[in-house]
Amino acid sequence: MKKIIAALSGALMIIPFVSGLRASALNFPLKSQINSESAIVVNLDSDVIIHEKNADAQQMPGALVNIMTAVVCLESCGDLNQEVTIDDTLYPDLYTYEYPDDLRFADIYGGDVLTISDLLHAMMLTSSVEASTNLVKAVCGNDTNAFVEKMNAKAKEIGLTSTNFTNATGLYDTNQYTTARDMAKLTEYALSVPLFEGIATTGEYNPTVPNLQTHPNHQEWIWKNSNIMMDAESEYFYSGAKGIKTANLTAAGRNIITMGSRDGNNYLVVLLKAPINGPDDELKFYHIEDAISVFDWAFNHFSYQVILAETVEVGELPVTLAEGNDYVLARPKEEVSLLWYDEVDTSLIKKDDITWDYESVQAPVNKGQRLGEVSLKYSGEELGKVELIAVSNVKRSVSKYNLYAAGRFKESKWFKNAFIISGILCAIYIIICVYSYICYKRRERTPKSVYAVPKMKNSKKKKSADSRKNSQ
């Protein structure tokens, strides 16, 4: 929860309108060379990678796989206080392991009773193979393959594209591999899992369940974090260093994933494949030296700097039908600050790649109206986009608008509707006229009854006259 709050606060403080800042573009050079073959440095507050070295090169994780083992256990076990009886029949295969110097034990014996939480602490702090093997049994019984399947399924879910797990202990296996980038993703995910951060950053731990038969002096049964940067009595002590996991493989070197916090800034450092021995074949903690060097570099040379002030006018957009100026100036919606390296001038960030929302905007334009966005780029890589808004109001010219409206009348929906209605009315009028004409012609062809009756009368008169004439 603390990490989530810190990350959200940092994101809000840094770049309210900049997105996509987790990019390789922020790959600044370290002040001094490191011995680790692969590395990645992430600012946890803003989720920004500030340095990477061979971050996608395939490496062997060693006991760093315990991070995934812990994630699977934490997400599978509902009760971390569940007690587990240690099964030492799981150990014989460890004794035949070809690189015995890789094995780490926490004095956990067969028959001891420990909680899931106890075993997680033993595994994360000391890389205890007793703890990891018994945790696998607690989750999946004797089916270790099922547990490994859970690990790989979770890896796919998180987006670890270059990682493959073959065991939960981290012991040497040529088919078990990862990258610094994937380990950074995994660790950030793990830090979001409840209880993980507290376990992984504990300095020392005394098991909660006494096992007096095998450990008569229970208070002396202490597991210390293998990250000696946390040990105030060590020459490698580093104020602000926290956990998270160390790993050593005879065949692949030393690895470390650790966090550092100072002055409200939080960093995650992943270092893979540092040499185990020095030039005279003496044991060396190059991974610890590298971590200290990287933390010093990050804490001393990075700060939040204003990249784009709120008052800066970054471009202008044409305005049509305007009263006065035929353009409007654009500025960032809010001031943009970014975590930046003090030895790189912010002027090198390109701020002129503007994408306007329109080719031109029609007046009126309101102050604060969105006009487009500008891309921030460094060394050709996009850091993010910033919204641009109008600096001031732009009024509409009444005369220009009237001329514009008149010219556009033929294209308006009102003109089209009027034309259609007029056509319909004309058609109706024509139909009525034609119908009236037809009716008129029909009435004209019908004979009038006034002519028929007289004809009948004349005929009778003629017949009567003829009769009288014949009678005479």
pLDDT tens track for 437-456? 888 777 766 555 554 445 55
Question: What is the predicted pLDDT for the residue at 454?
Answer: 53
254: β partners: 248, 274
Q: Which helix (H) or strand (E) holds 155?
A: helix 144-158
pLDDT of res. 10: 42
Task: Using alpha carbons, select from 62, 56, 26 the residue that is nearest to residue 39.
Answer: 56
Say if CB 302 and CB 340 are below 8 A apart: yes
Higher pLDDT, 413 or 48: 48
* E-strand stretches of 321-409: 327-332, 336-341, 350-356, 361-362, 370-378, 381-390
pLDDT tops 70 at residue 461: no
pLDDT for 425: 86
Percent of the chain with pLDDT strictly greater than 70: 86
- Amino acid 447: pLDDT: 56
Question: What's the pLDDT score for residue 27?
Answer: 87
Helix (H, G, I), strand (E, B) or coil at 431: helix
**Is 70 exceeded by the pLDDT of residue 233?**
yes
> Can you say whether the dihedral through the CA atoms of 156, 189, 183, 176 is positive or negative?
negative
Structure tokens at 96: 């035949």
The per-residue pLDDT for 442 is 76
pLDDT digits (tens, 9 = 90+) for 235-250: 999 999 999 999 999 9
Q: What is the pLDDT of residue 354?
A: 95
Give me the mean pLDDT over the 10-21 stretch. 38
Which carries the bigger pLDDT value, residue 187 or residue 93?
187
Structure token digits, residue 32: 């001094």
Both tokens of 359, joined, read 């080719």
DSSP H or E stretch at residue 312: none
When mean pLDDT is compared across 29-33, 235-239, 322-326, 407-411, the lowest value belongs to 407-411
Judge whether residue 54 has pLDDT over 70. Answer: yes
Residue 137 host element (H or E): helix 129-140
Q: What is the pLDDT of residue 412?
A: 62
Task: Say how many C-beta atoms besides its own lie within 10 A of residue 282's C-beta.
Answer: 7
Identify the three-state secondary structure at position 232: coil
Confidence bin at 406 (pLDDT 50/70/90): confident
The reported pLDDT for the residue numbered 12 is 38
Distance separating alpha carbons of residues 325 and 199, to the nearest angstrom? 64
Query: Could you tell me the sign of the dihedral formed by the alpha carbons of 395, 398, 400, 405, in that order?
Result: positive
Residue 455: predicted pLDDT: 52
- For residue 415, the model assigns a pLDDT of 65
User: Which secondary structure element, helix H or strand E, spans residue 428, and what is its range?
Assistant: helix 413-445
Phi, psi dihedral angles at 338 (to 5 degrees): -150, 145
Q: How far is CA 6 from the centre of its chain?
A: 17
For the segment 16-29, the average pLDDT, to the nearest whole number, is 53
Location of structure tokens 């334009």? 365
pTM for the predicted model, two decimal places:
0.79
Q: What's the whole-number average pLDDT of the chain?
A: 88
Amino acid (1-letter code) at residue 345: D
User: What is d(CA 211, CA 85) in angstroms, rounded to the nearest whole number?
Assistant: 11
**CA dihedral sign of residues 139, 77, 124, 273:** positive
| Stronger pLDDT, 273 or 415, i.e. the higher one | 273
Residue 424 and residue 301: Cα distance in Å, rounded? 78
Predicted confidence (pLDDT) per residue in 368-388, tens digit = 999 999 999 988 888 889 999
Paired tokens of 25: 């573009």
Q: Give residue 458's pLDDT band: very low, low, confident or very high (50, 70, 90).
A: low
Number of other residues whose CB lies within 10 A of the CB of residue 331: 22
Task: Indicate the SS3 state at residue 331.
Answer: strand
Residues 157-212 pLDDT 10s: 999 999 999 999 999 999 999 999 999 999 999 999 999 999 999 999 999 999 99
